[in-house]
Structure 1
C-alpha cells in the first residue's frame, strides 16, 4: 500500500450463504470525511514478455442515494513513481450491484459482479504496479475478491478448479497454460517429447493464478508431448497433442 495517502482498506470477514468468507474491503459506510483517496497497490508485475495483459476481479458494493463513492484503477510502468494511466473508473450506481441505505455486506453470489480490465497498454513493461483508488463520499462498504491477472486480453477467461490446465488441446500455433495455486512460486514450464527431448521451456516467477502463452511450437512436429510445470512445491504434467 502507499504510505503517503490515507487508507482504510482491510481484510474483513463476512457471511455469504452461511459460509464464512474474507475479502479486501473498504468500510466506507462509517467514514464521514469526504474526498479522501484510499490506495491499495499491487506488488511489482512483470509484463515484459507478453503482448497482451488483463485483469478480472469481483466487486460487491451498494450505493446510497446522493452519495457517489468512486473506484478507479491506475497503473504505473515505473515501479510506482507515478500512476499516469487510468484503466478503470466507476462510481455511484454504475459501480454498485444494488442500492442500500444501511451498511452493506454481501449475502449471496448475486451480490457480486465480475469486472474485466484490459491491461494491454502495460504489455512489454517489466516494472508495472496497479493501484485500486477509492475516493470516499460517505457512501457504503465496498468488497473486492478474486483479483486475477492474465497475459491475454481475452475477456472470456477460463475458470479452473484444478492446479493447471493447458489449452487448446490439440494445439497448432500456441498453448496457453492457466495456473490455480494457493501460494506463489517460481515455475519452470516446459514441453517434452515422449522420448525425453525438451522442445521448449521458460521460467515464470511469482506464479499464482496467471495464464501464460507458449508460442514457439509452430515448427514442432505433430504428435503427443508432455507439458511439465516444476517448482519448489509443484510437479505437474499434462499430455498435449500438437497438430499443425
Structure 2
C-alpha cells in the first residue's frame, strides 16, 4: 500500500501516524512461528528502493491478546496509534511512504487514520531558544525550550521577595520542550521564572494579572 509522494519543506518536525488493529490465530508463545508482519517503508527515488522505518509482528503488532481462529474485527478498544518521526527527511526531496504486509496466515490487520503531521516552531522561540508565555498570565504559564534542553537541572518560580514558590527538578539533565506552572493560586504581581542549567541560569520576569 503506497502513499502519494510528499515533499517536507520549511517545517521544523514531521510525523507519520496511523491507527492499527491486529490479531493472531496462534498462541503468541509459539516459538519459530511464521508471523504476520506489518512494515512501514520510505523511498526517496519514487519507489525504486526502500528503507524500513517500522517493522512489527507477533506481540509487538497485535492489539488484542486473545488469539482467535475466526475473522478478527476490532472493537473500539482494540486499536493503537503508532507514530514515526520523519524529521530527518525534511528538505531532503520528495519521499514516498508505503505499508508492506507479509502474511503468515494468522489473522486480519487493519489500518485507519493515516496522516502526516508537520510542526512549525514559534519563530520567537526559535530565535531565543527560551520562551515564557503568556505574559501577562492569568492561569497557566508555559516554559518552552528549543531545541530540547541539555544539562537542565530545574525550572523554578520565585516571587519578588526571593521566595521559591514552585520547582520542577530534571534529574537526568535531558529536559523536555515544555513545562508549565499553575499561576491561578498566586496573587497579582511580578514573578521570576528561572531555568537552571549546570553551566548557566536563564531568568524571565512575568506579570500575574
- TM-score of the pair, normalised by structure 2: 0.51
Q: For residues 172 and 51 of structure 1, what CA distance do their matches in structure 2 show?
A: 14
Q: For residues 134 and 144 of structure 1, what CA distance do their matches in structure 2 show?
A: 11
Q: For residues 45 and 14 of structure 2, what CA distance do their matches in structure 1 show?
A: 17
Unaligned runs of 5+ residues in structure 1 are 1-39, 153-165, 175-244
Deviations 1:6-52 (A, max 9, x none): xxxxxxxxxxxxxxxxxxxxxxxxxxxxxxxxxx0000111132342
Q: Which residue is equivalent to 1:45?
A: 6
Q: Which residue is equivalent to 1:194?
A: none
Larger radius of gyration: 2
Deviations 1:119-161 (A, max 9, x none): 1222112310001010011011111000111124xxxxxxxxx
Q: Residue 93 of structure 2 aligns to a residue in which SS?
A: coil
Query: 4+ residue runs of structure 1 moved beyond 4 angstroms?
Result: none
- TM-score of the pair, normalised by structure 1: 0.44
User: Contact (CA 8 Å) 1:42, 1:130: kept in 2 or not?
Assistant: yes
How large is the RMSD of aligned CA atoms in angstroms?
A: 2.2
Q: CA 1:77–1:49 in structure 2 vs 1: closer, same or farther (change >3 Å)?
A: farther
User: Contact (CA 8 Å) 2:12, 2:121: kept in 1 or not?
Assistant: no
Q: Which residue is equivalent to 2:71?
A: 103
Residue number among 48, 70, 73 corresponding to 2:40 in the alignment: 73
Aligned length: 118
Unaligned runs of 5+ residues in structure 2 are 27-32, 127-209
Q: For residues 77 and 52 of structure 1, what CA distance do their matches in structure 2 show?
A: 18
User: Contact (CA 8 Å) 1:61, 1:140: kept in 2 or not?
Assistant: yes
